[in-house]
Amino acid sequence: MQINNICCIGAGYVGGPTMAVIAKKNPNIKVTIVDINEERIAAWNENDVSKLPIYEPGLAEIVKETRGKNLFFSTEIDKAIDESEMIFISVNTPTKTYGKGKGMAADLKYVELCARNIAKVATTDKIVVEKSTLPVRTAQAIKSILHNTGGDVNFSILSNPEFLAEGTAIQDLLNPDRVLIGGESQDAIESLANVYGSWVPQDRILRTNVWSSELSKLTANAFLAQRISSINAISELCEKTEANVAEVSKAIGMDSRIGPKFLNASVGFGGSCFQKDILNLVYIARSYGLNEVADYWEQVIILNDHQKRRFSDNLISTLYNTVSGKKIAMLGWAFKKDTNDTRESAAIYVADHLLNEQANIAVYDPKVPSKKVYTDLNYLQTRSENENKELVETFDNPYNAVKNAHAIAIMTEWDEFKTYDWKKIYDLMKKPAFIFDGRNILNKSEMEKIGFEYSSIGH
């Protein structure tokens, strides 16, 4: 099928950057991104592109170049669905917070709503592409809804999982290791392959069946997260011995069978995908009675939770077993650098542990707005919103955040942290001044020379 109009439902971290790049590389295709969230669409339409709802290096430039030409942001969902030949579903699929599979399974209510809406509105044949991270066999559910509730039109369902990592989304999209397209209809697969074919070499476009495509996404994320949990497990052992985890990472990474990437020990992985996808994998394995398989993957998450807890426990015990009434400055709130996304960020959980010990928390992050810090903490429902307001303060300047702090916890690997005047920071803090470097970005001997009590992960 010749594609002239694409509609993408969901203007989030996946839909926004992916469609911006598709529009840039296919000037003849009209791409419309729709969302139920009016505020978000308004922000995407902001004249000043520095105010887009998503921060991602390189994104603002592409939006500026394509918006109003062949890239559009709108809340008119039905119109965009009807006009398009191809519809991407890029809505959120959070872990269920209620009912069967609570805390494990993906909540597919937003995907289901989209499918029902497409079925209701469509008057011509559509290719429906699932882009959201979804558990295996979701395409089947979408297909069944479309076929049973739709009118006389033909729907082809494709699975096209997103492999972009936040913070490098534009580069990942422009130069993907591979694009995966799973489906039954060869014609539909080739239509989508053509869209990507405008910039991705054909040998990097993999065609598979739907189930392989869906499972590959979960498996890729599970393998990546497993590497981090593996090196984090070794980091704890390093702290008990004379070994240095950075040296171990380097040594094992030079084995070409292992490779150097994703071996940075840290306070723990965050983000919207890793935990959710592994929980899905575990849930699916358990539902087939594969308990050993489920337990195996679940351990990746158990280790990650342990790493976050270990970090805050270490901070508390180093501060003479009490942080009550002490000011702890947290540098970084995002789950990684170069994004304003905070989903599952280690910072949230570490802050929560410290707040349970009645610490006062001062937060500075270069891209995360103050409001988000409070929403993240309130969402945990560990304490009242008023208590969070009282105990947590946010700053738009790091030097104000660290004033009179007993300790600094580095939660995100933002490059700017390395360029700070650390002598000045030392002078502003209470003594002894502690740094807990959850990302191993500072130099231990330099920090000790200034006078800091410095500890990192796995040294």
Q: Does 9 bind ligand ADP (CB under 6 A)?
A: yes
Q: Least distance to ligand ADP from the beta carbon of 75, Å?
A: 9
CA nearest to 307, candidates 274, 346, 268: 268
Binding mask 318-357 for ligand ADP (x = CB under 6 A): ----------------------------------------
Options 110, 163, 211, 420; binder of ligand ADP; rule CB under 6 A = 110
Give the angle 375-379-381 at the CA atoms, nearest 5°.
Answer: 125
CA 224, 226, 227, 228 torsion-angle sign = positive
Q: Least distance to ligand UDX from the beta carbon of 173, Å?
A: 11
Which uninterrupted H or E stretch holds 30?
A: strand 30-34
Cross-strand pairs, 181: 207
Options 24, 25, 40, 406; binder of ligand ADP; rule CB under 6 A = 40
Query: 264 is in the binding site of which of ligand ADP, ligand UDX, none (Cβ under 5 to 8 A by kind)?
Result: ligand UDX
Options 13, 73, 155, 436; binder of ligand ADP; rule CB under 6 A = 13
Q: Least distance to ligand UDX from the beta carbon of 382, Å?
A: 21
Query: d(Cα 382, Cα 352) in Å, to the nearest integer?
Result: 8
Q: Which is nearer to ligand ADP, 235 or 342 (CB)?
A: 342
Residue 12 in marked binding region? yes
Query: 41 is in the binding site of which of ligand UDX, ligand ADP, none (Cβ under 5 to 8 A by kind)?
Result: none
3-state secondary structure of 243: coil
Please list the active-site residues.
Answer: 273
Q: Which is nearer to ligand UDX, 138 or 266 (CB)?
A: 266
- Asked if 235 and 457 touch (Cβ cutoff 8 Å), the reply is yes
- Asked if 355 and 392 touch (Cβ cutoff 8 Å), the reply is yes
E strand intervals along 82-178: 86-89, 126-130, 155-159
Q: Which is nearer to ligand UDX, 410 or 429 (CB)?
A: 410
Query: d(Cα 325, Cα 137) in Å, to the nearest integer?
Result: 50
- Asked if 138 and 108 touch (Cβ cutoff 8 Å), the reply is yes
Neighbours of 5 (CB within 10 A): 16
Which 258-317 residues touch ligand ADP, going by CB under 6 A?
Answer: 272
Residues in the site for ligand ADP, rule: CB under 6 A? 9-15, 35-37, 40, 77, 90-92, 110, 113-114, 132, 272
Residues in the site for ligand UDX, rule: CB under 6 A? 162-166, 221, 224, 228, 262-264, 266, 269-271, 273-274, 335-336
